[in-house]
């Protein structure tokens, strides 16, 4: 095959998958195979192979060969759903909050359970729990989302459909019976298809980048060399429970930092006096080498 028209073949794709998408390692493999089989086509140069890989493989395919299927899906393009009216479809999910909070004297990372209206992008119900998500959080969040009277609302009501992602908390018998009493159809999305409920997934991603990262004791904060946290050493917030309005996360309350004690900043009484010039001269006269004194000799004792 002419090097100017070299294309990525099925064999090269298999070698790229074997070597993790590393074309520089695939090239000597092709040279070795060509040396063992004189009837094979000439192997192009390494630069030609790199150009062919960039031309014939998409960015998603190259990312998948290097890092796997999850990396390939990050480059997929999905179409938007057609616009609908308010309360046509809700989406529900759990979100782990990467922030340490004070729960009765112990540090814990809470969970958020919420529903969002896909047409208006309004969060209709929120429930914050200090434990892993369970049916009590789903039921509390569902009650907040449906109720339109004070202190909830004015958004809410009965949706035409609720999309979830195979979570056992949303599909348990108790929650199913509660949704069935309100005639709420629940659509269970297939596994590993977050794009089928992209509204709630976009909310989960945005709330961490735009809100959680600003809270004290954020656990995903960047670290310094050696591992210590690069964020400010602020106290943990307190978790007051599920009592906030439906559209906010009012359960997280930031406590003010404790006042700094002056005794940790100023030297203890008497320390400054032991560092003065008179004290250093007395130490030198006594032969203290750290203060510049003279090393004693044997004739000094006679």
pLDDT (tens place) for every residue of the chain, 302 residues total: 444 578 999 999 999 999 999 999 999 999 999 888 888 888 899 999 999 999 999 999 999 999 998 899 888 887 788 889 999 999 999 999 999 998 888 889 999 999 999 999 999 999 999 988 899 999 999 999 999 988 887 888 999 999 998 888 999 999 999 999 999 999 999 888 888 899 999 999 999 999 998 888 888 888 777 766 655 556 666 665 433 343 344 444 333 444 555 544 444 555 445 556 666 666 666 655 454 555 554 444 44
Q: What is the pLDDT of residue 94?
A: 94
- In the β-sheet with 101-103, what is the strand arrangement from edge to edge? 106-108, 101-103, 237-239, 252-253
Q: What's the distance, Cα to Cα, between the start and end of the chain in Å? A: 100
Q: What is the pLDDT of residue 61?
A: 93
Q: How many CB atoms lie within 10 A of CB 112?
A: 24
Residue where the block lists tokens 């434990």: 131
Q: Rounded to 5 degrees, what are φ and ψ at 101?
A: -120, 160
Cis preceding linkage at 189, omega within 30: no
Q: What is the pLDDT of residue 288?
A: 55
Question: Considering Cα of 64, then 69, then 73, then 74, what sign does the dihedral take?
Answer: negative
Q: ∠97-98-104 over CA atoms, to 5°?
A: 75
> Domains of the chain (ranges plus CATH)?
3-73 (no CATH), 90-253 (3.30.420.10)
Q: How many CB atoms lie within 10 A of CB 74?
A: 12
Q: What is the pLDDT of residue 220?
A: 86
pTM assigned to the model: 0.62
Q: What is the pLDDT of residue 217?
A: 87
Q: What is the pLDDT of residue 13?
A: 93
Alpha-carbon distance of 19 to 42, in angstroms, equals 21
């Amino acid at each position: 095959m002419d090097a100017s028209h070299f294309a990525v073949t099925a064999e090269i794709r298999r070698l790229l998958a074997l070597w993790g998408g590393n074309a520089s390692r695939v090239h000597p493999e092709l040279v070795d195979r060509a040396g063992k089989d004189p009837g094979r086509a000439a192997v192009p140069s390494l630069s030609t192979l790199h150009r062919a890989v960039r031309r014939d493989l998409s960015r998603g395919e190259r990312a998948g060969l290097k890092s796997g299927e999850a990396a390939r899906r990050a480059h997929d393009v999905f179409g938007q759903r057609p616009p609908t009216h308010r309360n046509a479809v809700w989406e529900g999910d759990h979100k782990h909050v990467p922030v340490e909070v004070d729960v009765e004297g112990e540090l814990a990372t809470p969970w958020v359970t919420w529903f969002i209206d896909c047409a208006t992008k309004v969060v209709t119900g929120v429930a914050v729990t200090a434990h892993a998500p369970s049916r009590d959080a789903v039921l509390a969040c569902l009650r907040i989302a449906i109720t339109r009277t004070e202190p909830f609302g004015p958004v809410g009501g009965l949706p035409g459909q609720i999309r979830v992602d195979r979570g056992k908390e949303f599909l348990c018998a108790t929650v199913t019976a509660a949704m069935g009493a309100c005639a709420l159809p629940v659509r269970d999305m297939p596994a590993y298809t977050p794009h089928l409920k992209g509204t709630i997934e976009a909310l989960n991603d945005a709330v961490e980048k735009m809100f959680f990262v600003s809270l004290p004791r954020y656990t995903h904060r960047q670290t310094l060399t050696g591992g210590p946290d690069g964020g400010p050493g602020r106290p943990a917030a307190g978790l007051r429970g599920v009592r906030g309005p439906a559209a906010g996360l009012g359960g997280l309350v930031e406590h003010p930092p404790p006042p700094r004690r002056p005794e940790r900043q100023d030297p203890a009484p008497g320390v400054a006096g032991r560092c003065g010039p008179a004290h250093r001269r007395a130490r030198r006269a006594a032969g203290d080498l750290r203060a510049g004194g003279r090393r004693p000799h044997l004739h000094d004792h006679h």
